[in-house]
Amino acid sequence: MAHLTKDNEALTNRVKRIAGQVDAIDRALASSASCASILHLVAATRGAINGLMEEIIDAYLREHVAGPDLSDTARAEGADELLAAIRRYAK
Amino acid sequence: MAHLTKDNEALTNRVKRIAGQVDAIDRALASSASCASILHLVAATRGAINGLMEEIIDAYLREHVAGPDLSDTARAEGADELLAAIRRYAK
Amino acid sequence: MAHLTKDNEALTNRVKRIAGQVDAIDRALASSASCASILHLVAATRGAINGLMEEIIDAYLREHVAGPDLSDTARAEGADELLAAIRRYAK
Amino acid sequence: MAHLTKDNEALTNRVKRIAGQVDAIDRALASSASCASILHLVAATRGAINGLMEEIIDAYLREHVAGPDLSDTARAEGADELLAAIRRYAK
């Protein structure tokens, strides 16, 4: 059972807040809000996605790389997935 | 009329795509998708928000700092707003 | 006369500190310091370069895009240079 | 013996190249080079530090978190160090 699931309420709430922020950008564009406000809405949403990414990297690292009952192969695969996401995340 | 508006179809489509990506993360959590797939969904969404942020910085810089008919005061205010968002964006 | 010059003591001191941090990484590798310490040295140096980049973007934006006595062409060129660096900086 | 050591020639060469880039920024300031060239020198150096950081995260993850012969405690400590550096690296 994946540990990043709907039971992780904090995580799902975080995702829903980000959905709300993206919706706010959409509404700001539709209502021709000031460009400065749109600029800051997007920067704030980017910060929120960064926070979500860090939380998921943390959970993934502990569960799928550092977890006590993993085989060496499973650990290596977990490390590969994480590094691929980190490289993409750093872009 | 702010230039970042609903008439900027490319921009609104970009925001709607990001909304779809955030929704996909929400559904992946709800359906207990694999942690690796959630990791990559979030990394991809972060990349999309980065692209949106760059597009908005570009438009804002050209319109509200480099625009030909601005007063010196308006330019300085535009520069302040942009730098605040860039600092936040770089976090 | 470029305004980002040796007379900008704060800026040159900042660059010299970063040179010192990179030298510290080199020495840590040569002396087989712990991997954790090397990891944190590099992360700290990256933070310092980020700070330098923000300071230079700030100075460049105010001088070469928002500056009061620039021609429209010079402003547009300044905006192009800044956006190219920001895109590279965000990578 | 830590695996991030002087025997890792590729890594030490990478650090020396970055030292050269920082030195080039210093000389550009001292010689009042154009602001645009300084802007791009710093952006390029930041890109190089990002590359170094990714290489070190990769090596650290495989050696100190996913390594086959580690105790559970050592793995958890490795994960903590890595997450601290990633959080700092993302700033």
| Residue C5, domain member (yes or no) | no
Residue B82 CA to residue B28 CA, distance in Å, equals: 35
A23-78 per-position pLDDT tens digit: 999 999 999 899 999 999 999 999 999 999 999 999 999 999 999 999 999 999 99
Domain of D66 in residue numbering reads as 10-90
Cα C15 to Cα C46, D20, D25: the distances in Å are 12, 12, 7
C3 in any annotated domain: no
Cα of D87 to nearest chain C Cα, Å: 9
Q: Does C6 touch chain B (CB under 8 A)?
A: no
- On whether residue A1 sits in a domain, the answer given is no
Q: Across the interface, do C78 and B68 touch by the CB < 8 Å criterion?
A: no
Q: Which of B72, B83, B90 sits opposite C61 (nearest CB)?
A: B83
Q: Which residue has the tokens 């060239």?
A: D37
In this prediction, residue D88 carries a pLDDT of: 78
**Would you say residue A50 lies in a domain?**
yes
pLDDT in tens, D7-59: 688 899 999 999 999 999 999 999 989 999 999 999 999 999 999 999 999 99
C-alpha–C-alpha distance, residues D79 and D86, integer Å: 10
Classify residue A41: in a domain, yes or no: yes
Task: Say if residues C66 and B76 touch (Cβ distance below 8 Å).
Answer: yes
When CB atoms are compared, the residue of A61, A68, A90 closest to D54 is A90
Q: What is the DSSP letter of A23?
A: H
Inside any domain, residue B76? yes
Per-residue CA distances from D26 to C15, C19, D22 (Å):
6, 9, 6
3-class DSSP state of A30: helix
Reported ipTM: the value is 0.88
Is residue D65 within 8 A of residue D82, CB to CB? The reply is yes
Nearest CB neighbour to A62, from listed D50, D79, D87: D79
Beta strand ranges found along chain A (DSSP E): none
Residue D2 is assigned to a structural domain of this protein: no
Q: Tell me, what CATH number does D64's domain have?
A: 1.20.58.1000
Residue D29 lies in a domain: yes
Placement of tokens 């310490």 in the chain: C37
Q: For helices B72-90 and A35-64, give the axis angle rounded to 10 degrees.
A: 10
> Cβ neighbours of residue B28 under 8 Å, at least 6 residues apart?
B37, B38, B41
Q: Helices C35-64 and D35-64, interaxial angle, to 10°?
A: 160
Chain B touched by C80 (CB under 8 Å): no
Digit-coded pLDDT (tens) for B34-82: 999 999 999 999 999 999 999 999 999 999 999 999 999 999 999 999 9
If one counts every other C-beta atom within 10 angstroms of the C-beta of residue A78, the result is 24
> Total structural domains in chain A?
1
